[in-house]
Amino acid sequence: MPKRSLRPTMRDVARLAGVSPMTVSRVQAGSALVAPETRDRINAAIAALGYVEDKVAASLSSRRTGFIATIVPTLTNSTFADTAHGLTEALRRSGYQLLIGYTRYRMSDEESLIRTMLERRPEAIVLAGMSHTEAAGTMLRGAGIPVVEIWDCGEADPIGYAVGFSNIESGRAAARHLIALGHRRIGAIGPTIGDDAHDFRGEARLTGFTEVLREAGLSTDRIVQRGDVPLSFAGGAAAMAHLLDTAGPLDAVFAISDLAAFGALMECQRRGIAVPGSLSVLGFGDFEIGDQCVPALSTIGIDAEDIGRRVGELLLRLLPGDAGDHGPTPTAVTDVGFKIVERGSTAPRPVST
Amino acid sequence: MPKRSLRPTMRDVARLAGVSPMTVSRVQAGSALVAPETRDRINAAIAALGYVEDKVAASLSSRRTGFIATIVPTLTNSTFADTAHGLTEALRRSGYQLLIGYTRYRMSDEESLIRTMLERRPEAIVLAGMSHTEAAGTMLRGAGIPVVEIWDCGEADPIGYAVGFSNIESGRAAARHLIALGHRRIGAIGPTIGDDAHDFRGEARLTGFTEVLREAGLSTDRIVQRGDVPLSFAGGAAAMAHLLDTAGPLDAVFAISDLAAFGALMECQRRGIAVPGSLSVLGFGDFEIGDQCVPALSTIGIDAEDIGRRVGELLLRLLPGDAGDHGPTPTAVTDVGFKIVERGSTAPRPVST
DNA sequence: TTGTAAGCGTTATCAC
DNA sequence: GTGATAACGCTTACAA
């Protein structure tokens, strides 16, 4: 029997207002079935005591925590932060609370995070990617709540729902675009494939890219995978340096992330290599930096915030809400697509050369 | 009386293992006071049923939620994401869970977020800045849990603890640095001061900067505050364009964030203005991008991740932990300081001119 | 080493 | 409109 709480409880409020706890509970829940005077008296008591509802107890009793578990690879990358932002905004007025965790791109972290989050009894779980450990898959399937996999779709069946795009297809599109510009000696930059740490989506993009190069009869020798997951500025610059030092003449380079592409761009700048004059650089993700740098970065555009927003709308329809009718049953897969954003870092291959 | 849960409870595990729920609870808590065989039997039952502990109930009963509430202005900015990361890492093995919320730099959002988070009964609350609404201050003081204000310190007394640095002093240091390089016609870039949306820390930096300019007898007319909070790439570029268009000759510019400084740098590049040849640019924050761009950005360095780490260590000492001795009582204020990082975007004023 | 009893602060349910 | 009662699934405190 723990020592009595320092904070006022609903009982304290009820006592002060001269009603039963149940009536206070009704006021908290915004029920209209309370007499206006009673409500005022209760609100006065709440203010007087500085009462703050205990949602832990409320959650246990009502069996609704209002938590949405969200698991992403990293927070440090604006992409997933944007998605979390979109999700938060979509959920803003609904009273749901995001429970955010990140995996550092490690499957083992993801697995333990899923368990930890499930212990908090979220009403839904949102996580990046379609690849999980076996134990993770079992937990997700047995969780009894909506599961939404994001940032990828099209290749495999989702556990529950999926909101994303085809990473493989986006990689293929990148390759086709560079080929269409007349480039032939094409390179690509991706991260090292680790044991536990994986950027599955970046790898899928590289896979699609490689496929198209091969189909076009072009060499895939200029595809480098080096640097820690996730590849950032410095990793992109280092990979570019490696390409430049060892791969011979080069027409164009695709990086699996704008961060790496920007690093590559800066490496070119440092070496006095004209972009796009003598080398085209194509990024991925449409990060804000690509729009601002000089030259502006051509990229494959993904609307990260929109992914979050759509997940929020999906959840609002899936979860029992006070809004009543939630429309038709949602489809399992939402493909938000991608688009090629042509800016200043890509150009047709010069006629001479 | 809600419908019986679909998930197995501790009772189910206990029944299957032929023990009382209390013994299962002990196993979950990692108590050594359980016979090895009993433990094995219970773990087998847990695995067989796919039992996942209900921390909602555990929290209510034990009065320990394991939540640390964390409120930052934005997640989209790598700075606060880094701090959250540092905090998470410091807390990783302790079993505490971050409850992250962001205010969009709005005091009203902060206030409602504090209330929402307090309802979840966190064991500590961490939030950016020392400025809060009156109601927020009241809630924080009455919360009965450790309060840690971060990213600023030195000017006011913290509610509980503070981990940060003096933003005013950092602005002063920025001005002194540019003056010491010989610059006289000095500008600065900050965001618009909104009604509800405030970047108090950025404003404080600008205040310190302005003070020193004034003390040195230099004009403060080149200090522009425009663009939405928080100032990012595009805002910095626009402010730089404005300065260049209207402020006449300019020796150097300080931006209250590296993001804005990078935008300013790119604007110069677009206009063919040599940096640092004819204009020095100084940023703030030591974001990764400043280290990678060309020219590399001189900046005021703050170790964002370290702030989070220190908060985590502070909390570990403050909170009742299984570790027993937590060392001496922590001091109220931890100043992590800042340092001037000289890179390629600043240079002494050319002798001629 | 294990079990019993009571209760954490709220809400569902049903009676008044 | 309002209240009494019984949970929600777990842990504290103490007994055995």
Q: What six digits make up the tokens of B115?
A: 């209330």
Interatomic distance B22 CA / D12 C1' (Å):
11
Q: What six digits make up the tokens of A326?
A: 């939630």
User: Does residue A325 have a pLDDT over 60?
Assistant: no
Distance from the first to the final alpha carbon of chain B? 83
Higher pLDDT, B31 or B163: B163
pLDDT bracket for residue A323 (50, 70, 90): low
Q: Find, among A214, A228, A277, A279, the residue nearest to A257 by Cα.
A: A228
CATH class of A65-165+303-319: alpha beta
Q: What angle do CA A6, B137, B131 make, to 5 degrees?
A: 150
Which of these ranges, A97-111, A191-205, A310-324, B268-282, has the smallest mean pLDDT?
A: A310-324
Q: Find, among A229, A226, A183, the residue nearest to A202 by Cα.
A: A229
Distance from the first to the final alpha carbon of chain A? 83
Mutate to test the interface with A, among B91, B120, B140, B240 (most CBs of A within 10 A): B120
Query: Among 1.10.540.10, 1.10.1040.10, 1.10.260.40, 3.10.400.10, what is the CATH number of B10-53?
Result: 1.10.260.40
Interchain pair A81, B85: CB under 8 A: no
Nearest CA in chain B to A122: B56
Residue A340: how many other CB atoms lie within 10 Å = 16
What local confidence, expressed as pLDDT, does residue A5 receive?
42
**A162 class by beta-carbon count within 10 Å (0-12 exposed, 13-18 middle, 19+ buried):** buried
**Cross-strand pairs, B62:** none
What local confidence, expressed as pLDDT, does residue B78 receive?
87
Query: Maximum Cα–Cα distance for chain B, whole Å?
Result: 90
**B49 strand D contact, CB < 7 Å:** no
Alpha carbon distance A236, B251 (integer Å): 33
Give the closest residue to D12 (Cα–C1′).
A1
Handedness of CA B284, B290, B293, B298 (dihedral sign): positive
What local confidence, expressed as pLDDT, does residue B327 receive?
64
Interatomic distance B147 CA / D12 C1' (Å):
27
In angstroms, the separation between the Cα of residue A212 and the nearest Cα of chain B is: 31
Contacts A2 to B, Cβ<8 Å: 62-63
**CA of B31: nucleotide with nearest C1':** C1
User: Does residue A2 have a pLDDT over 50?
Assistant: no
What local confidence, expressed as pLDDT, does residue B320 receive?
87
Interchain pair A263, B292: CB under 8 A: yes
**CA of A26: nucleotide with nearest C1':** C11
Residues in chain A, total: 353
What local confidence, expressed as pLDDT, does residue A322 receive?
56
- Please check whether residue A287 is in contact with residue A220, taking contact to mean a CB–CB distance below 8 angstroms: no
Give the closest residue to D1 (Cα–C1′).
A34
Average pLDDT, chain B: 94
Mutate to test the interface with A, among B3, B4, B49, B55 (most CBs of A within 10 A): B55
Contacts B138 to A, Cβ<8 Å: 50
**CA of B4: nucleotide with nearest C1':** D8
Give the closest residue to C14 (Cα–C1′).
B1
What local confidence, expressed as pLDDT, does residue B2 receive?
34
Pairing outcome for strands B124-128 and A161-164: unpaired
What local confidence, expressed as pLDDT, does residue B326 receive?
59
Same fold for the pair B10-53 and B167-301: no
Interchain pair B100, A100: CB under 8 A: yes
- Please check whether residue B126 is in contact with residue B308, taking contact to mean a CB–CB distance below 8 angstroms: no
H, E, C per residue of chain B:
CCCCCCCCCHHHHHHHHCCCHHHHHHHHCCCCCCCHHHHHHHHHHHHHHCCCCCHHHHHHHHCCCCEEEEEECCCCCHHHHHHHHHHHHHHHHHCCEEEEEECCCEHHHHHHHHHHHHCCCCCEEEEECCCCCHHHHHHHHHCCCCEEEECCCCCCCCCCEEEECCHHHHHHHHHHHHHHCCCCCEEEEECCCCCCECCHHHHHHHHHHHHHHHHCCCCCCCEEECCCCCCCHHHHHHHHHHHHHHCCCCCEEEECCHHHHHHHHHHHHHHCCCCCCCCEEEEEECCHHHHHCCCCCEEEECCHHHHHHHHHHHHHHHCCCCCCCCCCCCCCEEECCCEEECCCCCCCCCCCC
pTM of the model: 0.94
Phi, psi of A304 (to 5 degrees): -60, -40
In angstroms, the separation between the Cα of residue B192 and the nearest Cα of chain A is: 21
pLDDT digits (tens, 9 = 90+) for A208-240: 999 999 999 999 999 999 999 999 999 999 999
**CA of A14: nucleotide with nearest C1':** D3
Alpha carbon distance B193, B339 (integer Å): 26
Alpha carbon distance A121, A293 (integer Å): 44
Interchain pair A292, B88: CB under 8 A: no
Quick check: B29 contacting A, CB < 8 Å? Answer: no
Q: Among partner residues B81, B119, B262, which is closest to A54 by beta-carbon distance? A: B119
Report, as an integer, the average pLDDT of B27-53.
93
What local confidence, expressed as pLDDT, does residue A286 receive?
97
User: Does residue B325 have a pLDDT over 90?
Assistant: no
User: Does residue A202 have a pLDDT over 70?
Assistant: yes
Nearest CA in chain A to B81: A76
Name A293's Cβ contacts closer than 8 Å, sequence gap at least 6.
A262, A265, B266, B293
Quick check: B141 contacting A, CB < 8 Å? Answer: no
Report, as an integer, the average pLDDT of B17-37.
92
**B21 strand C contact, CB < 7 Å:** yes
What local confidence, expressed as pLDDT, does residue B196 receive?
85
Interchain pair B266, A293: CB under 8 A: yes
Interatomic distance A115 CA / C2 C1' (Å):
28
Report, as an integer, the average pLDDT of A118-132.
97
What local confidence, expressed as pLDDT, does residue B114 receive?
98
Alpha carbon distance A9, A21 (integer Å): 9
Q: Among partner residues B7, B85, B233, which is closest to A289 by beta-carbon distance? A: B233
Which ranges of chain A does DSSP label H, i.e. alpha helix?
10-17, 21-28, 36-49, 55-62, 78-91, 107-119, 134-142, 167-180, 200-215, 233-246, 258-271, 288-292, 304-318
- Domain boundary assignment for chain A: 10-53, 65-165+303-319, 167-301
Alpha carbon distance B319, B124 (integer Å): 8
What local confidence, expressed as pLDDT, does residue A132 receive?
96
Which amino acid would we find at residue B52? V
**B5 strand C contact, CB < 7 Å:** no
Interatomic distance A30 CA / C14 C1' (Å):
21
Interatomic distance A14 CA / D5 C1' (Å):
17
Alpha carbon distance B35, A303 (integer Å): 55
| Alpha carbon distances (Å) from A63 to A66, A312, B209 | 9, 21, 53
Name B275's Cβ contacts closer than 8 Å, sequence gap at least 6.
B265, B268, B269, B281, B295, B345
Alpha carbon distance A91, B35 (integer Å): 47
**B9 strand D contact, CB < 7 Å:** yes
Nucleotides on chain C that have an atom closer than 7 A to a protein CB are 1-13
Interatomic distance A166 CA / D9 C1' (Å):
42
pLDDT digits (tens, 9 = 90+) for B148-173: 999 999 999 999 999 999 999 999 99
Say if domain A167-301 classifies as CATH 1.10.3720.10: no
- Residue A71, H or E segment: strand A67-72
Interatomic distance B47 CA / C7 C1' (Å):
29
Report, as an integer, the average pLDDT of B224-243.
95
List strand D contacts in A 53-72 (CB < 7 A). Answer: 57, 60-61, 63
pLDDT bracket for residue B3 (50, 70, 90): very low
- Please check whether residue B205 is in contact with residue B231, taking contact to mean a CB–CB distance below 8 angstroms: no
Name B140's Cβ contacts closer than 8 Å, sequence gap at least 6.
B114, B125, B132, B147, B159, B160
Instruction: Scan for tokens 């804005």, then name that residue.
Output: B260
Q: What six digits make up the tokens of A59?
A: 């959650």
Higher pLDDT, A52 or A330: A52
Handedness of CA A285, A291, A294, A299 (dihedral sign): positive
**A23 strand C contact, CB < 7 Å:** no
What local confidence, expressed as pLDDT, does residue A327 receive?
64
pLDDT digits (tens, 9 = 90+) for A273-312: 999 999 999 999 999 999 999 999 999 999 999 999 999 9
User: Does residue B233 have a pLDDT over 80?
Assistant: yes
Nucleotides on chain D that have an atom closer than 7 A to a protein CB are 1-13
Contacts A56 to B, Cβ<8 Å: 56, 59-60, 65, 120-121
Interatomic distance A57 CA / D5 C1' (Å):
17
